[in-house]
C-alpha cells in the first residue's frame, strides 16, 4: 500500500507524527481514572490510489495539564481540503491548527461554546488567507471536530467529513452531510440508495473558509459508555466502506489496527480520494471508583 502519514497540530501535542499514523502519546492512561474510562486512540491518513497529493489534515489532542483536560477534555479533528494549487492542503491544515489552538485557549468551563468559536475562528482565518493570496482564492475545507470531556460527547462539523459512534458492531452517523445529495435525501427528492452513486454527491452546500461568516452549532449526544468506538473520517473512507463495515472493524480491533484495516479496505476498493481516519475506543479504567456503564 501507499505511504501513510498523520498530520497533527504538533505545537499543541508536543510531538511530531511518525510515518505510519500516530497513537495518542499517553495511550490508555490519557483519561484520569476517576472518570471511569480510558482511551485508545489512533490517527492515520493515506493519499489513496489516484490523487497526486494529500489534502486531508487531522489531529488528536490530549492536554498534559490535568486542569485543562478536566475543563476541556480531549479533541479530535478531521479536515478534507479543496482548492486549486495547494489551496486544499493549506485550508485543511489551517483549519486543524486554528481549531486546536483556539479550543484549548477557551476560558471558563463551556467546551460547547469553545468548540463553536474555534470553528468560527478557523473559518475566518481561511477566508482571510484566501483573500490575501490569489493562488489560494476559493480554497476551503470540510471539518468534523469532536470533544470528549468527562462523560460528555460534543461535536461540530461543516461539510461531509463524518463522525460515527459505534457500539457492539452497530454504527450511528452523528453528523449530517452538508451536501447537495444529502439535502435531496432529507427533502425526499431521492432515496438514500440513489445518493451513493449520484453524479452530484461531492457537491457541498457548506464548507469552512469559503464565506466570511458561517453559522456553527455544537451538538451533544448520549454520555459515554464502556465499549463505545468513535470514528472520524473523510469521504475517502465512507464513500467506499459501508458504516456497518466501519463498525465491525472498530469493534474487533484496537484503534491502530482498526485505522489500518479501514484504509487498506478503502484502497482495495479503488482509493479514489485521500483517506483519513481517527479511531477512539473507550475502555474501562483499572481501579476506577465509578466506572462508566457497559451498555446493553
276-286, pLDDT tens digit by residue? 999 999 999 87
**H helices present in 133-226, as ranges:** 180-186, 192-195
- In this structure, the strands spanning 229-233 and 275-283 are antiparallel
The structure's pTM equals: 0.86
- Nearest CA to 295 out of 95, 129, 151 is that of 151
Pair 124, 66: CB distance under 8 Å: no
CATH of the domain at 139: 3.60.40.10
For residue 243, being part of any structural domain is answered with yes
User: Using CA atoms, how far apart are residues 107 and 110, in angstroms rounded to an integer?
Assistant: 8
Query: What is the extent of the structural domain holding 267?
Result: 4-283
pLDDT single digits (tens) 52-80 = 999 999 999 999 999 999 999 999 999 99
pLDDT for res 15: 26
Separation of CA 129 from chain center: 23
| Nine-digit cell string for 78 | 478531521
pLDDT for res 178: 85
Pair 143, 78: CB distance under 8 Å: yes
pLDDT for res 108: 86
Q: Once rounded to an integer, what is the mean pLDDT over residues 79-96?
A: 92
| Counted domains in the chain | 1
Q: Once rounded to an integer, what is the mean pLDDT over residues 238-264?
A: 97
For residue 86, being part of any structural domain is answered with yes
For residue 265, being part of any structural domain is answered with yes
Helix, strand or coil, per DSSP, at residue 15: coil
Contacts of 153 (CB under 8 A, 6+ apart): 146, 147, 165, 220, 221, 222, 223, 224, 230
For residue 191, being part of any structural domain is answered with yes
User: Using CA atoms, how far apart are residues 106 and 129, in angstroms rounded to an integer?
Assistant: 23
For residue 40, being part of any structural domain is answered with yes
pLDDT for res 186: 77
Does position 268 have pLDDT exceeding 70, yes or no? yes
For residue 229, being part of any structural domain is answered with yes
Amino acid at each position: 500500500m501507499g505511504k501513510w502519514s498523520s498530520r497533527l497540530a504538533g505545537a499543541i501535542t508536543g510531538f511530531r507524527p511518525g510515518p505510519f499514523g500516530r497513537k495518542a502519546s499517553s495511550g490508555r492512561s490519557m483519561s484520569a481514572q476517576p472518570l471511569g474510562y480510558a482511551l485508545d486512540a489512533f490517527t492515520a491518513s493515506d493519499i489513496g490510489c489516484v490523487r497526486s497529493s494529500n489534502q486531508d489534515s487531522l489531529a488528536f489532542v490530549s492536554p498534559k495539564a490535568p486542569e485543562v483536560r478536566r475543563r476541556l477534555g480531549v479533541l479530535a479533528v478531521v479536515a478534507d481540503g479543496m482548492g486549486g494549487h495547494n489551496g486544499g492542503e493549506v485550508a485543511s491544515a489551517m483549519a486543524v491548527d486554528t481549531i486546536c489552538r483556539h479550543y484549548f485557549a477557551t476560558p471558563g468551563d463551556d467546551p460547547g461554546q469553545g468548540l463553536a468559536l474555534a470553528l468560527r475562528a478557523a473559518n475566518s482565518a481561511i477566508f482571510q488567507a484566501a483573500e490575501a493570496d490569489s493562488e489560494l482564492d476559493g480554497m476551503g475545507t470540510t471539518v468534523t471536530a469532536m470533544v470528549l470531556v468527562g462523560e460528555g460527547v460534543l461535536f461540530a462539523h461543516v461539510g461531509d467529513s463524518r463522525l460515527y459512534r459505534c457500539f457492539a458492531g452497530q454504527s450511528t452517523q452523528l453528523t449530517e452531510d452538508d451536501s447537495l445529495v444529502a439535502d435531496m435525501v432529507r427533502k425526499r427528492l431521492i432515496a438514500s440508495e440513489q445518493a451513493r452513486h449520484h453524479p452530484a454527491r461531492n457537491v457541498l452546500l457548506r464548507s469552512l473558509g469559503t464565506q466570511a461568516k458561517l453559522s456553527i452549532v455544537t451538538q451533544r449526544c448520549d454520555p459515554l459508555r464502556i465499549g463505545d468506538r468513535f470514528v472520524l473520517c473523510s469521504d475517502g473512507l465512507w464513500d467506499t466502506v459501508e458504516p456497518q463495515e466501519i463498525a465491525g472493524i472498530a469493534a474487533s480491533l484496537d484503534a491502530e489496527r482498526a485505522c489500518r484495516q479501514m484504509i487498506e479496505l478503502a484502497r482495495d476498493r479503488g482509493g479514489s480520494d485521500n483517506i483519513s481516519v481517527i479511531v477512539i475506543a473507550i475502555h474501562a479504567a483499572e481501579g476506577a471508583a465509578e466506572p462508566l456503564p457497559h451498555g446493553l
